[in-house]
């Protein structure tokens, strides 16, 4: 790839219009090209069928389209599909299509690897190589939507930023990708159908509030006790539960959006009623819902899944405190596509 060539999808529509004016072409050409780039997500300029060869040659001289490729997909017995995406620089990430009776969800990645080193997560064992660009996150959604239609004759209903990486450490690009996904120039999805999941970075949760975002926010909590959370999630050492409380209250006051707490329940670590009491006390700070998540085994992992009777007692206690609780059964475990299992195992050496 020539160093002089810019990724064309980094341009706004106005910048693209300026390019065509500069090269003495009609301004409406910009809108045509923009639609091919986003609504149709073409991988080459030659696919733009209503654009002249002269313009295609001009675009090829000035720009590249840094498009993703699906190099491999696996289908689970529960119909979940995990795909490996090859990026323009030969790095790889994974995304997951999760079909249920009521939803068709795309779980996408925001970084190549991750820097947070959470003890229960396979991605946390990888190095963080770089942030994904907005168009790379958009492409994951676009391509998983195509997979959904091809395999299940349904379009996506929901998007979760819960794949590889910490979305808030790629703040600008994540926000930009959501703006494009929700735009009429893009996929036109409702922001209320999008959830961004964070391990908990207090100042950036506040920034989401300042930006008055319309999408949903989920916090990977997993322990409402600083000592336990420090052990499994090193990020808690700089973002204590007290600082997260302050940020969550601020976010709710600014957006009015009810937060979701994600709580993976580990055998003998955070599965006692005393843990449920701590979680209930933490969760009272704003309206919320709680997702209790099965632990999914990873290579060299030190944790085990909690026993069913422990999970039931934990959930019953939370519900007795009038909290909204959902127990999330894992999807795609047999192909390492479940929560915490994404580690580029699909990528062939």
Residue ranges of alpha helices (H) inside the chain are 13-22, 28-37, 53-62, 134-152, 171-182, 202-210, 226-232, 241-255, 273-283, 308-320
Buried-exposed string 127-163: b where 16+ CB fall within 10 A, e elsewhere: ebbebbbbbbbbbbbbbbbebbeeeeeeebbbbbbbb
The angle subtended at Cα 193 by Cα 139 and Cα 68, nearest 5°, is: 5
CB-based burial label for 196 (10 Å; 0-12, 13-18, 19+): buried
Let me know: does 271 contact 304? Beta carbons within 8 Å.
no
Q: Cα separation of 87 and 22, whole Å? A: 31
Let me know: does 128 contact 58? Beta carbons within 8 Å.
no
Residue with tokens 């019953």: 316
339 is catalytic: yes
Q: Cα separation of 71 and 241, whole Å? A: 40
Query: Which two three-digit tokens encode residue 236?
Result: 């808690």
Residue with tokens 């632990």: 295
CA gyration radius, the chain: 21
> Which is catalytic among the residues 107, 114, 118, 339?
339
94 is catalytic: yes
Q: Cα separation of 290 and 115, whole Å? A: 26
> Which is catalytic among the residues 94, 136, 166, 294?
94
- Local structure of 261: helix, strand or coil: strand
Residue with tokens 């707490």: 261
Supply the residues annotated as catalytic: 94, 339
């Amino acid at each position: 790839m020539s160093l002089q060539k810019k990724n064309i999808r980094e341009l706004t529509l106005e910048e693209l219009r300026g390019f065509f004016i500069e090269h003495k072409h009609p301004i409406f050409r910009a809108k045509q090209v923009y639609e091919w780039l986003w609504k149709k997500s073409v991988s080459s300029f030659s696919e733009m069928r209503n654009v002249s060869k002269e313009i295609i040659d001009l675009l090829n001289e000035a720009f590249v389209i840094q498009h993703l490729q699906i190099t491999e997909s696996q289908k689970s017995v529960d119909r979940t599909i995990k795909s490996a995406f090859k990026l323009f620089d030969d790095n790889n990430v994974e995304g997951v299509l999760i079909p249920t009776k009521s939803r068709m969800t795309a779980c996408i990645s925001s970084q190549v690897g991750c820097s947070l080193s959470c003890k229960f997560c396979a991605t946390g064992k990888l190095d963080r190589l770089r942030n994904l660009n907005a168009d790379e996150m958009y492409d994951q959604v676009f391509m998983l939507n195509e997979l959904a239609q091809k395999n299940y004759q349904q379009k996506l209903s929901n998007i979760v930023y819960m794949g590889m990486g910490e979305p808030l450490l790629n703040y600008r690009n994540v926000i930009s990708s959501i703006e494009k996904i929700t735009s009429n120039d893009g996929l036109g999805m409702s922001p209320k159908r999008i959830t961004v999941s964070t391990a908990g970075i207090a100042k950036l949760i506040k920034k989401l509030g300042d930006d008055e975002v319309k999408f949903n926010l989920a916090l990977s909590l997993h322990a409402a006790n600083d000592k336990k959370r420090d052990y499994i999630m090193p990020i808690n050492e700089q973002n204590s539960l007290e600082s997260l409380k302050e940020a969550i209250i601020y976010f709710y006051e600014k957006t009015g959006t009810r937060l979701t707490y994600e709580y993976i329940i580990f055998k003998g670590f955070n599965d006692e009623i005393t843990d449920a009491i701590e979680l209930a006390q933490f969760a009272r700070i704003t309206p919320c819902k709680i997702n209790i998540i099965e632990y999914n085994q990873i290579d060299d992992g030190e944790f085990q899944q909690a026993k069913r009777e422990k999970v039931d007692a934990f959930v019953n206690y939370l519900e007795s405190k009038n909290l909204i609780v959902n127990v999330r059964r894992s999807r795609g475990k047999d192909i390492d596509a479940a929560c915490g299992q994404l580690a580029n195992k699909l990528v062939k050496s």
